Structure 1
Amino acid sequence: MTPEELQAARDRVIPDVVAGGLRVLFCGINPGLMSAATGYHFARPGNRFWPVLHRSGFTPRQLQPCEQEELLSYGLGITNVVARASARADELSAEEYVEGGRLLTAKVERLGPQWLAVVGVTAYRTAFGEKKARIGPQERTIGGARVWALPNPSGLNAHWSLDAMAEEYGRLREASADVAGT
């Protein structure tokens, strides 16, 4: 991608990867410019979402962003708190997060996933007014879905190693398997 192509992707919206009754609906903060330019979630090469998903046992092999639709066959999906693309999450306003939380709530109520996994605890705190939320399962439910705050897989989140991140995602995988009876 050229810098011009990436800048042209600013404010684009990419389609969710969703279906009704998912086991886990992963929710990113918002699409980055690489994702918006390609149309694939978590598309930046340094993003650890796809390796972590595999290492945690959610997928039998590491998927590439262009294979995102395959997630549906595993009962998994992807959406975002804020739909518009930006170069960095700090470009989003608190109001956008709150409105994103309202829209996400309606989406979860409509789709009925068992778990909503927000990948970014700060985004979860801001979108839902949960100032003291920590990584892990939350007390809150949204539209009948249990909520889990996960570490953000961005390469910028350096204080979470790949292994530690995979372990936390694995905790969610185990909890979602228990709920699903698999």
Structure 2
Amino acid sequence: MRARHLARRCFGDCHAIPRRLGDFANRLVQWRSAKSVRSLAQVRQTTPQRSDGDCAKPETTLPDYLAPGLDIVLVGINPGAYSVRAGHYYARPGNRFWKAANRAGLFGEPLEPEADARVLEFGIGLTDVVKRPTPTARDLRAADYRRWAPVLKEKVRRFQPRIVCFQGIGSYRNYLRYGEGLSAPPRPRPGRQARALEFSVVFLVPSPSGLNTLYSFEDLVNCYRQLRALRDEIRSA
């Protein structure tokens, strides 16, 4: 009796071993699969996202929002490092662009930095004179304008907006120097400019950066209102 009992116990345990090994193997596969998924998620989260901007490292700048025949193309100085990290134009809280443009009614509805791509819905584009990001515009070099000003000129020639609005007096002068070949460009005043860019009217707005203390918030609002009025005038012509 004892021998039969031991035989049955051994027989049962021998059959249980493969099942236990199978359970262990399944758990091992599941653990490895879960680990692989976590690793893949980490890679996806840390992999830089490429953008459409013209830059030696496209993933480190902001994309251009351009299309043929826009009413206005707003041209910033260059992407700020803060905005590039945020992934949106004029994203730094101290920048006055969105608040001033919204107050002036430049868009069909109030927009925030996170909705910057939607400007195209209202016939407006976004780009920069220089696409290399820096902490501030003061960190730009002459070589940056020498490289990028001709690129901007080609973009305007390609997309032919009705109005090109430079947002920054100094950056417009640097564009004239390195994009149009003017050795001593005059210091312009905000508003419509006498000189066209290709077939586009040029309008100048002071830099909306919070570091620009020469122009108040109301000054910026008035400039954007004039820009809106010019757009409406050209539309109806």
Distance 1:165 1:175, change over 3 A: same
From 17, 22, 25, the counterpart of 2:65: 17
Shift of 1:131: 2.9
Shift of 1:74: 0.8
Q: Is the 8 A contact 2:132 2:144 kept in 1?
A: no
Normalized per residue, which structure has more strand? 1
Q: For the aligned residues, what is the CA RMSD?
A: 1.7
Matches within 5 A, 1:129-168: 129=177, 130-168=185-223
The aligned residue for residue 113 of structure 1 is 161
Rounded Cα–Cα distance in structure 2 between residues aligned with 1:94 and 1:143? 23
Q: Please report the TM-score for the alignment, with normalisation by the length of structure 1.
A: 0.89
Runs of 4+ in 1 over 3 A off after TM superposition: none
Letter in 2 for 1:29: I
Rounded Cα–Cα distance in structure 2 between residues aligned with 1:62 and 1:160? 22
Identity %: 34
The aligned residue for residue 3 of structure 2 is none
Secondary structure of the residue aligned to 1:116 is: strand
Rounded Cα–Cα distance in structure 2 between residues aligned with 1:37 and 1:107? 25
Structure 1 unaligned blocks of 5 or more? 1-10
From 17, 34, 46, the counterpart of 2:94: 46
Rounded Cα–Cα distance in structure 2 between residues aligned with 1:93 and 1:110? 26
Matches within 5 A, 1:171-182: 171-181=226-236
Pairing 1:29–2:77 present: yes
Q: Please report the TM-score for the alignment, with normalisation by the length of structure 2.
A: 0.69
Secondary structure of the residue aligned to 2:171 is: helix
The aligned residue for residue 6 of structure 1 is none
Rounded Cα–Cα distance in structure 2 between residues aligned with 1:159 and 1:131? 18
From 45, 48, 63, the counterpart of 2:111: 63
Shift of 1:162: 1.2
* Higher RCO (C-alpha 8 Å, min separation 6): 1
Letter in 1 for 2:131: A
From 102, 108, 128, the counterpart of 2:150: 102
Q: Is the 8 A contact 1:29 1:81 kept in 2?
A: yes
Bigger Rg, which one:
2
Shift of 1:53: 1.0
Q: Is the 8 A contact 1:25 1:76 kept in 2?
A: yes
Normalized per residue, which structure has more helix? 2
Structure 2 unaligned blocks of 5 or more? 1-58, 178-184
